[in-house]
Amino acid sequence: MKYLNNQWIFLAIMAYIVQNFWLTLHWGWGLLGVAFFIRCLFLTKIVKQFVFIVIVISSVVTFRTRTQPLVSQEENTYLLQIDPIYLNGDEEYITGRAKLWSQGEWLTINVKGSQLSTLHQLDQVTLLQVKGRVTIPEGARNFGGFNYQKFLQSQNIDYQIEIKTIERAQSVNNFFGYFLNWRWRLLNHFQKLDHIRLFSLYNRLIWNLSSTQYKTHRERLIEFGIIHFFAISGFHVTLIKNNIDYLLRRFGIINEVGSLIIDGLLIGYTFLTCFPVGVVRSVGSHFLKKYGSLSRMDNLSLLVLAFLWFNPRIVLSTGFQLSFLISYILIFIEKIPKPLPFSQSIQLAIICTLFTWPITMRQNYYWYPLQLIWGLIIGKVFDWGIFPLAVLLTLLSFSPKGQLLVQHFDFLLEPIELFQPKILVGHYSWVLVIVLMAVAGRWLVDWQQAWKFTIISYIGLILISGRCHFERIIVLDVGQGDAVLYQAAFSNQGWLIDVGGKVSWNRDANSSQDQPEENYAKKTILSALAALGVRQLEGIVITHPDADHFANLPAIIKTIPVKEIVISNIGFHHQNWQQVMGPYQNQLPLTILEAPGWQTIIPDTLWGWFDTNAPREDLNESSIVTLLKLSNRSFLNMGDLGKTGEQKLLTTIPNLDINLLKVGHHGSNTSTSKQLIEQTTPEMALISVGKNNRYGHPHQEVTVLLQQEQIPYLSTADNGAIEMMVIPFKGINIRHALSP
């Protein structure tokens, strides 16, 4: 194998590209693969032969994972094997992963269920016969949103099961089961302490145990640029190993014995933590260095191949990408003989940050310019304090008084308002990722020539990110509700027509009114706008103050600058509006529509109409109907207007001819009359509606009418968010978030 010395990286890169191509079938990976293959043709004959072998092996193993056995998606009886270490939650709701028996083999599957005390009380690896429904997880329902399906696929999970009832349970009484139970009993001691904040972070860092408490701190860890300590780096393995080695030497244990003790501890620790990427990479590097003769770069490349061939879908994991990317960078830096301009730790931090920013910003939508500084400060604390702190917390965890003492220090983790500016960049193109990676590479080779170019590049990112290249309308997926975004060309601002939302049945202790659910706003419209890079709203039109059209408004005005809010005088005086928006009344730049007929909202672009004589108690009939001009096309949004209101609209404006119609009231049979369809002659209809909603929207009468009139339609329930974009010389291009 000496002919492959310092050449393994070519094999690792080829495997990475090939498996990305077969898993995504994206032309970009294909083009990159061809270019890299041409580069490999200039290598030695033996290396070229191994490149070909890698292409074949990577293709075969990837195809095998693409052809997972089909599982019936009907409600049925299934056999599951569950290790309680992989479950999170409480008696109310529990999630996690398990093994499902299907067609003669065990498949890893995501599990969830509510009111299942049996699952919550599991204390050993158990076989369960359950009744439930298996489904395929969905991708992102809004453009650029978190893709849960892709996340599960990176863990080799294709299906999820919602458990309805547990019919039978049986413990696994074999050697492997006993081994897993031993692991569970040890880690369960620490998992029980997750309600204490310091222990929740300790559990994630040391034992790879996630929890609801930890997730509340995750966003702050991302802001400070130290999330990799808890998720991907595996750096603590080296620190712990070095400290144990030091202690063994202090106790007079000779090198050979101490080395074997450390090897055993590392293997046991990897098993205990359930084989996370960072730990396996760090431990694997230790053994390859100790027992092998290859360079660090070759060892790391061998580990990449092992990961990719053992679990091809891990190539989709951000944790895998960042963990190995940072490791390669650290090795490459050592090969550069140039003197560093300042301390080595600062230079390393700058380079690692420049290489990880393009990926983390795209995933989290924000750029935190001071991450580098905070990462350096907190990283230094970790360097000298992680081992003694881990030992101290481990010892205190076994004492009730020690646990209480740790709990008293929870105030250290209370949210502190520090100077941490953030800039929204949205879910930008992979082209920008490549450009920023090239910028980082330039810095790596010659920082003295690259620092100005780096600053200019990030200023350019701020200026261009989030700007849609062409004029567009997006019907956002906000569940059972309405929210339509309009953006002019080359803008990172926009207008919203309704904002979606829902109220909580758990009322505030100081109020007798139902309160808007802010978490719902964060999960739906706020995350959708962040992914699109919308930094400011020129205005918001509230068609009428029903919760599913406006309850997200308080969360929006707290998060995004809004220049104007438009509402009718009927909606403004309604109790729904006053109850929810009363506390914000002085902050709202309100425009109240009162006059009959079309009212101009955006000159030559957006107009609003509502029935000024509609009954005050009937919010739907007082909905503001909005007309948007998109290039030479027109888009009509009906709000929740019923058939009576439609008749008045058509009588008032008889020559209303449109191209795109968003039907009223989520496709309810109380709206969308045949007269409306025949008089407006739309080319396509759109329906904003929640999947599996309790109202049965859209009603069959509406969809049948559209079919009879030969009008194609799309719904957010089936298609996710729907975008209509003006493409020069082409017209309107329509796409949706859940495209196959």
| Per-residue pLDDT tens over the stretch 232-241 | 556 678 877 8
Neighbours of 611 (CB within 10 A): 21
In this structure, are 642 and 683 located in the same domain?
yes
Average confidence (pLDDT) over 520-539 = 95
Q: Are residues 559 and 674 in the same domain?
A: yes
| Gap between the terminal Cα atoms of the chain | 43
Residue 74 pLDDT:
77
Whether residue 608 lies inside any domain: the answer is: yes
Do 729 and 647 fall into the same domain? yes
Segment 211-218 mean pLDDT: 77
Cβ–Cβ < 8 Å for 614, 570: yes
Helix H, strand E, coil C: the string for 635-664 is EEECCCCCHHHHHHHHHHCCCCCCCEEECH
Instruction: Locate 221 and state its tokens.
Output: 């860890």
CA distance 456 to 718: 42
Measured distance CA(272)–CA(186) in Å, rounded: 9
Contact 371, 340 (CB under 8 A): no
In the predicted model, is pLDDT for residue 257 greater than 90? no
Query: Of 175-179, 543-547, 577-581, which one has max mean pLDDT?
Result: 543-547
Domain assignment present for 123: yes
Helix pair 45-66, 296-310: axis angle to 10 deg: 30
Q: Are residues 39 and 114 in the same domain?
A: no
At residue 523, the pLDDT reads 92
Angle at 436 between CA 432 and CA 437, to 5 degrees: 115
Give me the pLDDT at residue 264, please.
94
Range with the poorest average pLDDT among 66-80, 261-275, 617-631, 684-698: 66-80
**694 and 613 together in one domain:** yes
- 79 plus 38 within the same structural domain: no
Dihedral sign, CA of 338, 343, 346, 348? positive
Q: Specify if 426 maps to a domain.
A: no
What is the count of structural domains for the chain?
Answer: 3
- Alpha-carbon Rg of the chain, whole angstroms? 29
The region, left, alpha or beta by phi > 0 then psi within -120 to 50, assigned to residue 501 is left
47 and 165, same structural domain? no
Q: In this predicted model, what pLDDT tens digit does every residue of 583-611 receive, in sequence order? A: 888 888 999 999 888 999 999 999 999 99
End position of a domain, from candidates 49, 66, 83: 66
In a domain, 141, yes or no: yes
Residue where a domain stops, chosen among 66, 89, 122: 66
How far apart (Å, rounded) are the C-alpha atoms in residues 571 and 554? 16
Task: Specify the CATH number for the domain of residue 718.
Answer: 3.60.15.10
Same-domain check for residues 50 and 83: no
Cα-based distances in Å from 155 to 64, 85, 250, 504, 525: 15, 16, 42, 34, 28
State the Cα–Cα distance between residues 652 and 668, nearest whole angstrom. 23
- Is the torsion defined by CA of 644, 649, 655, 657 positive or negative? negative
* Mean pLDDT computed over every residue of the chain: 88
pTM of the model as a whole? 0.89
User: Helix or strand or coil: residue 44?
Assistant: coil
Structure tokens at 315: 């190539």
417 pLDDT more than 50:
no
Q: Which residues lie below 8 Å from residue 407, measured CB to CB, with a gap of 6+?
A: 196, 198
**pLDDT at position 561:** 95
Whole-angstrom distance, CA of residue 358 vs CA of residue 278 = 20
Q: Is residue 710 situated within a structural domain?
A: yes
What amino acid is encoded at 485 in this protein?
A: L
Place of tokens 């393009």: 358
Domain membership of residue 278 (yes or no) is no
Residue 427 maps to a domain: no
Confidence of residue 83 (pLDDT cuts 50, 70, 90): very high
Of 139, 172, 205, which residue is a domain's last? 172
Q: Before 698, cis peptide (omega within 30)?
A: yes
Q: Indicate whether 122 and 13 sit together in one domain.
A: no
Looking at the structure, do residues 694 and 593 belong to the same domain, yes or no? yes
Question: Averaged over 178-192, what is the pLDDT?
Answer: 91
Burial class (CB in 10 A: 0-12, 13-18, 19+), 659: middle
Assess whether pLDDT exceeds 50 at residue 512.
Answer: no
Q: How far is CA 153 from CA 73, 160, 303, 429, 444, in A?
A: 18, 11, 21, 22, 33
Per-position DSSP letters for 452-518, written without gaps between them:
HHHHHHHHHHHHHTT-BSS-EEEE---SSS-EEEEE-TTBSEEEEEEE---EESS--TT-SS-EE-H
3-state DSSP assignment of residue 82: strand
For residue 414, what pLDDT band results from cuts at 50, 70 and 90? low
**Would 713 be classed as within a structural domain?**
yes
Q: Which two tokens stand for residue 438?
A: 């090239």
> Are 378 and 412 within 8 A, CB to CB?
no
401 token code pair: 């008084």
Residue 567 to residues 249, 542, 575, 622, Cα–Cα distance (Å): 75, 5, 14, 11
* Whether residues 11 and 121 fall in one domain: no
CB 203 within 8 A of CB 193: yes
Domain that holds residue 150: 75-172
Residue 139 in this model has a pLDDT that exceeds 70 = yes
* Claim to verify: residue 614 and residue 480 sit in the same structural domain: yes
